[in-house]
Amino acid sequence: MAATGFGAAPPTTPLVRSWRTAFLTLRDETLTISPRNSTAQMLDTLIFSHSDTLVSAAVELPSHEVLSDILFMMELVAATSSDEEECTHIYTQTSRLIHDICRRVSFNLNFSSFSSVLNCFGKMLNLFLRKVAISEEIIGICSTTTIIPAIECLQAIRCITLSHRRWLQSEDTILVKFLLDVIVCSHGVSCWMPRSICKEKSTGINMRFSTERSSSELQTVAFEMLSEAISRAGSSFPVDIWRSILEVFRKTMDVLALKTPVVEDSVMSRFYESFLCCLHLILVDPKCSVSDHVSVFVAVLRMFLIYGLSGRTPGACLLVDHEEKELNNMDPKASREQLNKSDHSTYRPPHLRKRDCLNVKHNRARHSQCMSDNESSACNVTSSDSEFSDGDGSAKESGIGLNSRVRVAAITCIQDLCQADSKSLSMQWSLLLPTSDVLQPRMHDATLMTCLLFDPCLKARMASASTLVALLDGLSSIFLQVAEYKESNKFGSFMALSSSLGKILLELHRGLLYLIEHEAHSKLLALLFKIIKLVILSTPYSRMPPNLLPIVVTSIRTRVEEGFWLKSDRNSLLAAAIGCLTLALSTSPSSAQLRKMLYDEVSTGSIETEKKSGVLSTLFEYSMQWSCPTICLEALQIYLLQALKAVSHNYPNIVAACWEQVSAVVYGFLSNVCLEAPSRQSSEHVGSPTPFINEKVLITAIKVLDEGLRAVSGFQGTEDLSDDKLMGIPFASDCIRMKKVSSAPSYELECKDDVIVNFEACELGIQQWCEAVEKHMPLILCHSSAMVRAASITCFAGMTSSVFICFTKEKQDFILSSLVHAAVHDNVPSVRSAACRAIGIISCFPQVSQSAEVLDKFINAVEINTRDALISVKSNAVRALGYISRILKFSTSKFQNTLVDYHDRMTDSYLSSENLMVCQQYCISDSLQDFNRLARIVQAFISCINTGNVKVQWNVCHALGNLFLNETLRLQDMDWSPVVFGILLQLLRDSSNFKIRIQAAAALAVPVSVPDYGLSFSEIVQSVEHVMENIDEDQISGPSNFKYRVSLQKQLTLTMLHILRFTSSTNDQQLKDFLVKKASILEGWFKGLCSSGEGMLDVQDKYIADRKRVMISSAIQSLIEVYKEKQQDAIAQKFEELKNNV
């Protein structure tokens, strides 16, 4: 052998020489002007007859040389013009050769080469699929000799794409278009090839693939390749490509919908799995709208919810007693076990067989370790992707695992649809969720609950549970608020959406509560708790069967009492269960049946006895175990406390009967956090206790104390004084938006047992407040955490006057000094804000407002905070000043007039008695102090209005309304009154926030006479009329203002009628001329007010309706007098007619 020098080319092997000889000869033959043989013969002789040798040689050749020769051969094949039989033979041999070579050699194709490859394979596939269609028309079956080469073509392309390392977006785009064309063309194959025929037809063909061939396999490969392309570059596809993909899937769905029932075998299972997995990749991140396809997708996906289960004969159906709403003894778990027994026993790995033997003796223990891990779903889930991946598993078991993957893929696609377009999917709920007999395994009418209850595969049940979470989350809670349950015996008739949703919610409750009671698998049970939480949040229980909410509470409490076996999951599952109880107890409006159930538990004394059987007993039992190592989860502690808070808020009468337990629970948390309590609270000298309990838990415990104290006091706190008065005023009562505040329960009394006299509640509240001030407050007012201090201060805002007056002098001083000290000396804004809020409430108590010393301290503390930079602090400070300004009359002794009026009357008194003179001097001093206080308050209001913050401005308007309610104040004698009225008018005219304008208009309607308005009366009338006239032209700055437009119109109506009543009492001729000028506008406004029935027809309360008529008549009468005075008889006559019509 001759030696080769350095850098010489390696010697060629016989295999390499055979490759090069074959392709060089092929090139030479094709260049001959008149070739001796046809293209098919040349390819057969030179290439296909040596395919095995050429495949082996390709590994030893440079990849670019192999690629060049393959591309040449493919161009030659594509250009051939032989008959169909020869073309079929050439295409088949070409695709097989390329497939085998691509499995061994990797190529670097450019865009041009890749496009040529696809064009050539596209021509091959068109011929194959056309022959398949013709063969079907003739003999009614698929042609094996053509469908198999078509599949091999796709396999060859797949090998090329897998070897291609660098992908361009343009290459992925043409590949996706190619695959979509293949899928659409394959729809022409109208029936799937039976497996037996496929085997028979393929026995005579030399095949390198499975003998199980059908047209479904062609689409299986196509969808797998499409999935790879989407995973690789789907995010970069243009929108038109995404639309094309969705259209092709829609067409495929249409074909599947026509072929019911679905075929259940291994070949079809692989096709369905590839199709659904590809659909998942599309729906998980769609780049265009899918709303037009949702209905079709859901109808087809629903067919796969029971895929592979239709051949099984279910056991006895689970029947539901519709009259008693009780469940049958036969449970879904037993039904699933019976389903499995009817088939071959499921394969058990050796390591689980031994465990099964050990657990035979403990088969009655429902929460055993083995059952939690392996048997709760009547199927065995291994760690691999296939549930039956062991080598000694039977073929049938492998088929079962494949079928289960199809079901899981279909359920996952439904979840993707929900996340992609929940609004469109909500219209398909009646297909996906049960409307009746949820506990019956009706496989012909499968829903997601059918999978959750009866599917033997745990993965399918988990997927179904996750899909239900996605389905019920988000906007569905709003969508379900229209639901209502109506019992109906008519079947097949039209059902309203509200009734359909009501039935769905009822069946969801039945199925979920049954599963919660019987399920043992911890992960699935956690998902069940999450689903029932969403169901509770979305269900309008006031329009559902009355006993539904008590059943929810009882079922969950029973599950909590039974416990959870696995220690690792016990705390998390217990927290989830208690969280569900909390939501059920927090449901608004509260349930009369649930209230009765709680009342029965309290009245029977079961809370205090050893035999505790009730939801309150359960909550107190676990709450008192706060120091137990098994009850140390923060979320669990918070849920337990929130549940007690919910009971206090929605069922306050119950708390009064079990206050001892509530107090003990709260004290247990507080006493073990605060080891020592310093005597004074300040940011510099706060205590530094060792916190055993998380700060969030401690704050929640304080909120339980706060809500409990409010409940036992009958919720008689003074959170909003002005609304109480406005509720009885015509028009104002229409525009007041009922606020859901923490100091007011949100339920309607429905039975006599719930009506407890407020005097009794207040008397009971006195005892509980005394206990709280002595026992609980000293532990938390001095806490190192600012959030804890703020929460403790907030408790005082719920106190009532009747409670405060019963305290000893020491307790009153303790409360007042604590509030002042927190407002002045605490460095944390949230604490000062809470203190200002409480000061505003407590300052309204008569025993507090009569003390000048206390008022001075309160005013000083609050005024300091009006200058704070933080909005929340400034807002509460301004509101507190408004409350204080309203009650200054309590500190002016017997002198109710201004200082000047007082001097006019005191001369005789001064001469008559020296002692009386001394008394009067004290009164003068008191009056001066009050006016000084008032001046400081008004100055604070004026300075705060310039901040521009919406919340502060609203509170300033609210505070000024309280100031005007002070009956001892003569506004006409105040130098600042024009400034204050000017501020209100400016806000009414120019503010972009409708809530501020409403409050400004309400404040302008408070003064009760023309002198109270002073020199500003004319400007107020003209400004309000101008705003009223142009209200429809106001620009709405944001969506939040839409809901306040009507309220603003009604409040302006009230203010306008109020001030028009006084127009005849003024001597301002300019104002009267203005009213004459606006007579036609006012006439039209009054006509609209009367004819629309706004003030009379829509009001059920006759007293309010009569008050509205009186206000309208009084305003018209005042205008009549003005017009008569201005000698406008014609106008006056028109208004006389208006008055008569009222």
Please state, in angstroms and rounded to a whole number, the distance separating the CA atoms of residues 318 and 339.
13
Q: Report the DSSP beta bridge partners of residue 321.
A: 326
pLDDT tens-digit map of 433-454: 999 889 988 777 889 999 999 9
Beta strand 320-321 with 326-327: parallel, antiparallel or unpaired?
antiparallel
Q: What share of the chain is helix, strand, coil (3-state, %, to 5)?
A: 70, 0, 30
Q: Is 80 exceeded by the pLDDT of residue 373?
A: no
**Cα dist from 228 to 69, 108, 161, 235, whole Å:** 28, 18, 10, 13
With cut-offs at 50, 70 and 90, classify the pLDDT of residue 470. very high
Most confident of 8-12, 329-333, 648-652: 648-652
Instruction: State yes or no: pLDDT of 252 exceeds 50.
Output: yes
Which tokens in the block code for residue 828?
């944390």
Q: Most confidently modeled of 489-503, 580-594, 626-640?
A: 580-594
Quote the CA–CA distance of 76 and 26 in Å, as a whole number. 10
In this prediction, residue 409 carries a pLDDT of 95
pLDDT at 145: 63
Q: What is the pLDDT, as a whole number, of residue 921?
A: 44
pLDDT tier at 337, thresholds 50, 70, 90: very low
Contact predicate 793/835, CB 8 Å: yes
CA distance 368 to 373: 9
Q: Evaluate if residue 67 carries a pLDDT over 60.
A: yes
User: Could you tell me the pTM of the whole model?
Assistant: 0.77
Work out the average pLDDT over 87-101. Answer: 85
Tokens of 951: 């919340």
Q: What is the pLDDT of residue 1076?
A: 92
Report the 10 Å Cβ neighbour count for 1042.
10
The Cα 571–Cα 628 span in angstroms is 12
What pLDDT was estimated at residue 832? 95
| Orientation of helix 169-186 relative to helix 215-233, angle to 10° | 160
Say whether pLDDT at 843 is over 70: yes
Q: How far, in whole angstroms, is CA 172 from its chain's centroid? A: 38
Per-residue pLDDT tens digits for 878-907: 989 888 888 876 343 443 444 344 344 433
pLDDT attached to residue 914: 44
Position 1041 scores a pLDDT of 64
503 pLDDT higher than 60: yes
Q: Which of 57-61, 898-902, 966-970 shows the lowest per-residue confidence on average (mean pLDDT)?
A: 898-902
| Res 161: pLDDT | 79
| Cα 525 from Cα 541, distance rounded (Å) | 24
pLDDT digits (tens, 9 = 90+) for 240-250: 999 999 999 99
Residues 6+ apart with CB under 8 A from 843: 849, 855, 858, 880, 883, 884, 887
Residue that wins the pLDDT comparison between 735 and 961 = 961
CA–CA separation, 982 and 381 (whole Å):
76
Q: How far apart are CA 1008 and CA 1058, in angstroms?
A: 9
C-alpha–C-alpha distance, residues 849 and 300, integer Å = 73
Q: Which two tokens stand for residue 914?
A: 């020296």
Cα(772)–Cα(807) distance, rounded to whole angstroms? 12
Tokens 């001075």 correspond to: 856
DSSP string, 334-365: HHHHHHHHTSPPPP--HHHHHHHHHTGGGTT-
Omega before 589 within 30 of 0, i.e. cis: yes
CB of 872 closer than 8 Å to CB of 946: no
Q: What is the pLDDT of residue 835?
A: 94
pLDDT of amino acid 516: 94
Look at 346 and 20; give whichever has higher pLDDT: 20
State the pLDDT confidence band at 132, using cuts at 50, 70 and 90: low
Whether residue 912 has pLDDT greater than 80? no
Give SS3 for 791.
Answer: helix
pLDDT at 553: 94
Q: Do 296 and 247 form a contact (C-beta atoms < 8 A)?
A: no
Contacts of residue 866, defined as CB under 8 A and 6 or more positions apart, other chains included, come to 874, 877, 878, 881, 940, 943, 944
The tally of CA atoms less than 13 A away on the side-chain side of residue 552 is: 36
| Whole-angstrom distance, CA of residue 835 vs CA of residue 1128 | 58
Mean pLDDT check: name the lowest of 65-69, 218-222, 788-792, 914-918: 914-918
Mean pLDDT confidence for 53-57? 90
Structure-model confidence comparison of residues 595 and 756, the more confident one: 595
Polymer length of the chain? 1142
Instruction: Indicate the average pLDDT of the chain.
Output: 77
Which segment of 175-184, 313-322, 496-505, 913-922 scores lowest on mean pLDDT? 313-322
- The residues facing 964 across adjacent strands are none
